[in-house]
A and B are shown apart, each in its own frame.
Chain A
Amino acid sequence: MQTLSRLERMHGHLALDFTLKQQRTRLMVREHRPPLQVVRDFGLADGTSFVHLHNVAGGVLAGDQLTTTINLAASTKAQLTTTSSTRIYRSDGEQVAYQAVQANLAEHSLLEYWPDTTIPFAESVYQQQTRIDLADDAGLCWWEFLAPGREAYGERFAYRRLRLDCDIYALGRPLLLDRMRLQPSLQQLNNPLYFGNYSYLATGYICRVGLDAGLWKALEAELMAFAASQTKLGRCLWGVSCLAAHGLVIRGLSSNSRDLLATAFEYWRFAKQALYGTSPNLPRKIY
């Protein structure tokens, strides 16, 4: 049985290169190993390459090691999304379900990442490491959504351990080191230092390297006004803050996932208009 479970572990890998051809961004899948897969990219009207990231296993199992590298060449634009929620399955022992993403954004490129919610099942052990490197004038809109478990199934913070890191570097210097370890057996996650009375977490990172600090302060004020309009005590809390330079971070806590997903896109609508003078392309699943 133990041998069988070893055989079932996956070392999936996906390497995506985005290059510029005739003013349009095209995807080249340099490597893909199951369960990670990309079928093709779709060219959007503004030249953006739109890509669905598939995990044909339907989730991440204990012992899986899945890695994705994303390289955007200069002046390319890519939008990535997942095809469904990322399910993190239970771990029988101390086996960790592991995913890592490394994104390198060259000068004047733009990456938009709209994943579905990560759902850690009861008894799961999961580690996710994301590292994003931004060159001069590179732009980023990156979201992460985390559920407390399968709530409809009665699971809330029933996972064993989660570690979620997102380290963003701009011009080689750390811009944001956003890391969390959630371990319900050691932490009381209903403590207001963590989730309080809320269950779902959304985090968005919006960056464009090299823009003036005054612009970020103005955008923070605009997004804060929106955050205030969307904050409803007992249901949903939002906060927005400038980073030390080059961007801002948005954080939402909610008692349900729908509030977070719908509102997150509105932040990017405001921000993309301010940063690029254009409207974002609405992924079909966001209404």
Chain B
Amino acid sequence: MPSGGDFWLGYTGVMMLNPALAQLKLLQLADSALPIGSTAHSYGVESLVAEGQLGVAGLGQFLHAFVQESGQLEAYLAYQAWRLADVSAFDQAWLDLNDQAAAFKPARESRHASAVLGRRLLSLALQLEPLPRWHQASSLAQTQQIETHHSCVFGMVAAGLRIEAEAMLVALLQQMTLSLILACQKILPLGQVQAQQLLWQLHPSIQAVVAQTPSTSFADLVPCSIGLDGASMRHPLLGTRLFIS
């Protein structure tokens, strides 16, 4: 657990973790090598590639739209979870947020992937730093038999570590996008350098989504990915699959 000297007063007026220490923890939690299984999922991209709908040529535009749409949803969920850090009525708010997360994901495989990653991240976080709020979330998941979604857990964990919301959101979207690019590398002729260029070019899109997230309300939330959702629904039909979703 962080000691008293690890904190400083952030610009929001909330006690935050020392920037360098916060950055270290974020780097670890948002690393694509974090053993929670994020590289086992394509969220329907494998179907789009198999159907000939997506190739390397259209990948940049596809990922830009992915960040705008799915990124908007995941950033919203993470930010709402982050805001629950010091809320006294945590239980119901946490249940409601994870209910919403599930309801915004129509495709079973993608929804399940989000839940599995969330459960594993929470379990791992508890083994790194057993904070009471994280225990509370873990106990709720077991007693209420609910799924805890990845972005919700990511936001809650970051809040527990006193990491600034903006840094948390940037890291989440970077990790989410990188995971998808890594998945694309397995099923498309996409080289290492090209993959990094794609990610680099997406930074303005990520930044834009992060900037609008604090002012996004539940009513404003319109994550539209009808083609990708449909592809995720058809994923179980693929004869040969590299990914779970």
Contacts and interface: CB of A to CB of B under 8 A. Distances in A.
A253 B44 CA distance: 15
A187 B100 CA distance: 25
A239 B223 contact: no
Contact of B111 (A194, A244, A253): A244
B116 interface: no
A175 B233 contact: no
B108 interface: yes
Contact of A191 (B61, B100, B108, B109): B61
B48 interface: yes
Interface in A184-242: 187-188, 191-197, 201, 220, 224, 227-228, 231, 233, 237-242
Contacts of A173: 99
B57 to A, nearest CB: 12
Interface string B58-98: 10011001101100000000000000000000000000000
Name, among A177, A201, A227, the residue most crowded by chain B CB atoms within 10 Å (CB to CB).
Answer: A177
Interface string A82-120: 000000000000000000000000000000000000000
Contacts of B100: 174, 177
B225 A177 contact: no
Contacts of A231: 234
A178 B224 CA distance: 8
Main secondary structure of the interface of B (DSSP, over half): helix
Nearest to A248: B108
Contacts of B103: 174-177, 243-244
A96 to B, nearest CB: 14
A60 to B, nearest CB: 20
Interface in A232-271: 233, 237-244, 249, 251-253
Given A192-B62, A224-B236, A182 B106 contact: no
A286 interface: no
Contacts of A233: 51-52
Contacts of B24: none
B99 A196 contact: no
A33 interface: no
Nearest to A191: B65
Contacts of A195: 226-227
Q: How large is the interface on B (under 10, 10 to 19, 20 to 34, 35 or more residues)?
A: 35 or more
Interface string B103-117: 110111101000000
Contacts of A40: none
B66 A193 contact: yes
A239 B234 contact: yes
A233 B49 CA distance: 12
A231 B54 CA distance: 17
Given A180-B226, A228-B237, A241 B231 contact: no
Contacts of B99: 173-174
Nearest to B110: A241
Interface string B203-245: 0000000000000000001111111111111101100000000
Contacts of B68: 187
A188 to B, nearest CB: 6
Given A174-B99, A179-B221, A194 B227 contact: yes
B53 interface: yes
Given A179-B224, A191-B61, A244 B230 contact: no
A30 B202 CA distance: 53
Contacts of A165: 222
Contacts of A201: 226
Contacts of B236: 224
Contacts of A9: none
10 contacts: A165-B222, A173-B99, A178-B106, A182-B224, A193-B65, A194-B65, A220-B108, A227-B233, A241-B106, A241-B109
Interface of B: 48, 51-54, 58, 61-62, 65-66, 68-69, 99-100, 102-104, 106-109, 111, 147, 221-234, 236-237
Interface of A: 163, 165, 173-182, 187-188, 191-197, 201, 220, 224, 227-228, 231, 233, 237-244, 249, 251-253
Given A192-B54, A249-B106, 10 more contacts: A187-B224, A192-B53, A193-B69, A194-B65, A228-B234, A237-B51, A239-B107, A239-B229, A241-B233, A251-B230
- Pairs of residues from A and B, 9 with the lowest C-beta to C-beta distance, nearest first: A239-B233, A180-B224, A174-B103, A181-B222, A192-B53, A239-B230, A244-B102, A241-B233, A193-B65
